Amino acid sequence: MNVRKLPDHADTSQLRAQAKELRRAYAGGNPAAAARVRAVHPEADGEISLRDAQLVIAREHDFPGWRDLVAAVVAQQSGGNDLHRWFGVELNNGTWDVLNAGLSDDSPQIERERALYAAYASTYHWMQAGTVANHGRGEYMIASVAVAIGLLEVAARHASRYAELIDAHPAAFADWDRAFAAEARARVASRSGDPGAAGLRAEAIRAIEAVADPEDRRICRERLAAAPW
């Protein structure tokens, strides 16, 4: 295996992007990507998970695992300062990676637990270092994980908390926060079999269409279209 030196200004977002690109290249049959993956996962066949690809990136930088690589980057980036903000970002990004990869109530228990605990941990760190908007968006992430894995009462509680924070601090939030809050309530109602779910979804659609920025509106629409319902 070709071992790479960790750059002086390593960035976990770039390393995560490298893992995603490796995963795509391997799935596409790229011979170089296949050789890199099989150096770490000799039995790999077909698609690999993002976690598998992250392990390859870690080993290529001479670390035993992804967590060890991330820990080294944290130490390098922060010098011990502003760790709450760093962990808030890192845990948030990792959790959304898992959600977007199709986390569900059929996922292995360990994956469901990791995603939920990471969402809580990210929110905790943002409550220490961020704004009320960061807190609210953490509540949304917890609700999104919980509804995906079938913990509907937990999801409802955190979706409601997100809406409460928006109502209490309207100037701190963007128009797309209101769209996401409406989507979260509609999703929980739909999965719970609530007879008012259709009306809440219609409300979410109206909130999305009221988002001013076209790119933000597109992201909200994609989130609304994503499973599970």
Average pLDDT of span 175-189 = 98
**Same domain for 184 and 90:** yes
- Exposed e or buried b per residue across 142-172, where buried means at least 16 C-beta atoms within 10 angstroms of its C-beta: bbbbbbbbebbebbbebbbbbbebbeeeeee
Q: How many domains does the chain have?
A: 2
Domain membership of residue 147 (yes or no) is yes
**Same domain for 185 and 149:** yes
From residue 111, give the alpha-carbon distance in Å to each of 2, 99, 103, 141, 217: 30, 10, 8, 16, 30
**Which residue type, as a one-letter code, is found at position 160?**
S
Instruction: Please identify, among 76, 106, 122, the residue that sits at the C-terminal boundary of a domain.
Output: 76
Domain membership of residue 51 (yes or no) is yes
**Same domain for 215 and 200:** yes
**Same domain for 68 and 129:** no
**Same domain for 129 and 99:** yes
**Same domain for 209 and 170:** yes
Domain membership of residue 138 (yes or no) is yes
| Backbone dihedral angles phi then psi of residue 47, each to the nearest 5 degrees | -85, 155
Average pLDDT of span 134-153 = 98
Domain membership of residue 100 (yes or no) is yes
> CB–CB of 158/143 below 8 Å?
yes
Rounded Cα distance, 126 and 129, in Å: 5
Domain membership of residue 4 (yes or no) is no
Give 45's pLDDT tier (boundaries 50, 70, 90).
Answer: confident
> CB–CB of 157/179 below 8 Å?
no
**Same domain for 140 and 111:** yes
Instruction: Please identify, among 28, 47, 76, the residue that sits at the C-terminal boundary of a domain.
Output: 76
Helices and strands in the chain, H and E counts: 11, 0
| Backbone dihedral angles phi then psi of residue 132, each to the nearest 5 degrees | -65, -30
Residue 183 belongs to domain spanning? 82-225
**Same domain for 181 and 88:** yes
Mean pLDDT value across the chain = 93
Average pLDDT of span 173-179 = 98
Instruction: Please identify, among 46, 76, 106, the residue that sits at the C-terminal boundary of a domain.
Output: 76
Give 5's pLDDT tier (boundaries 50, 70, 90).
Answer: confident
Rounded Cα distance, 207 and 181, in Å: 9
**Same domain for 62 and 96:** no
Rounded Cα distance, 194 and 96, in Å: 26
Domain membership of residue 117 (yes or no) is yes
- Checking phi first, is residue 150 left (phi over 0); if not, alpha (psi -120 to 50) or beta? left
In this predicted structure, the answer to whether residue 39 has a pLDDT above a threshold of 90 is yes
In this predicted structure, the answer to whether residue 224 has a pLDDT above a threshold of 70 is yes
Q: Tokens representing 8?
A: 């002086």
Residue recorded with tokens 């996922």: 107
Residues in the chain: 229
CA–CA–CA angle 182, 200, 226 (5° rounding): 65
pTM above 0.75, yes or no: no
Domain membership of residue 3 (yes or no) is no
